[in-house]
Amino acid sequence: MTTPSITVRGLLLDMDGTLVNSDAVVARIWRGWAAEKGLDPDEVLRVAHGRQGHLTMATVLPGRPMEVNYAENRALLAKETADTDGIVPVPGAPAFLAAVRDLPHALVTSASPGLATARMAAAGLRMPQLRVTSEDVSASKPDPEGFLKGAAELGFPAAECAVFEDSAAGIAAGLAAGMPVIGVGPRAPEHRPTLHVPDLEHLRLEPLADGRVRLTATAAGAA
């Protein structure tokens, strides 16, 4: 967190924790799963943020057959998709998405297409036209594949795209992709993003004449 602003051409947006506050649902689903397995719910939640479910299971239950993780994750994913109680937009997200409507941007999420659609709709947020979901990659965050694919879809080099993320896995993925990372929310600072804002109300977005976008953290904030 050494620069007050970032200037880029493309914007790559995580969903959960960055645009959508889904913490209540994530906690309900994963605490329940952890209790069934006799695991520490806090530790499971720490691992779960920003990752595909089967990788969370593989991390906290090492050595368990992956086919079991895949099967259990399908069941949990169905529960998560159906459970939208308590889902709200992150402060500033509606105005931010309105501000970037005509700028190059993409959603890059570890969620499935169905889960992403359900949560964006529950939060009342516009779904970006370009999306990279769990079905579009072979490796989940913290692997940089999703962000690199998003940059390629936008048509820009990785270094000319900014990642918006909240989780350890997501921030690590963005940095591994060679991209500046704007950390959003309370979980982000400890993972050393390039820039940090408490929410999207604390980010100023300035389209420049050459087509680039300047992103600046502010005290009061405005998208």
Q: Respond yes or no: is residue 16 known to be catalytic.
A: yes
Rounded percentage of the chain residues whose pLDDT exceeds 70: 96
159-170 pLDDT, tens digit per residue, is: 999 999 999 999
Q: For residue 45, what pLDDT is reported?
A: 87
* pLDDT tier, 223 (very low <50, low <70, confident <90, very high otherwise): very low
25-76 pLDDT, tens digit per residue, is: 989 999 999 999 999 999 998 888 778 888 899 999 999 999 999 999 999 9
**Cα–Cα distance between 137 and 114 in angstroms, integer?**
16
- Judged against a pLDDT cut of 60, whether residue 222 lies above it is answered with no
Q: What is the pLDDT averaged over residues 94-121?
A: 96
**Cα–Cα distance between 90 and 87 in angstroms, integer?**
9
Q: What is the pTM of this model?
A: 0.87
- Judged against a pLDDT cut of 90, whether residue 1 lies above it is answered with no
Q: Does 222 or 3 have the greater pLDDT score?
A: 3
Q: For residue 71, what pLDDT is reported?
A: 94
Q: Respond yes or no: is residue 14 known to be catalytic.
A: yes
Q: What is the pLDDT averaged over residues 145-174?
A: 97
Question: CA 210 → CA 90, 180, 214, 222, distances in Å?
Answer: 30, 19, 11, 21
Q: What is the pLDDT averaged over residues 88-103?
A: 97
Active-site residue among 14, 83, 166, 199? 14
Structure tokens at 6: 């970032």
Active-site residue among 16, 83, 166, 199? 16
Task: Check: CB of residue 147 under 8 Å from CB of residue 12.
Answer: yes
Q: What is the pLDDT averaged over residues 76-99?
A: 94
Q: For residue 2, what pLDDT is reported?
A: 44
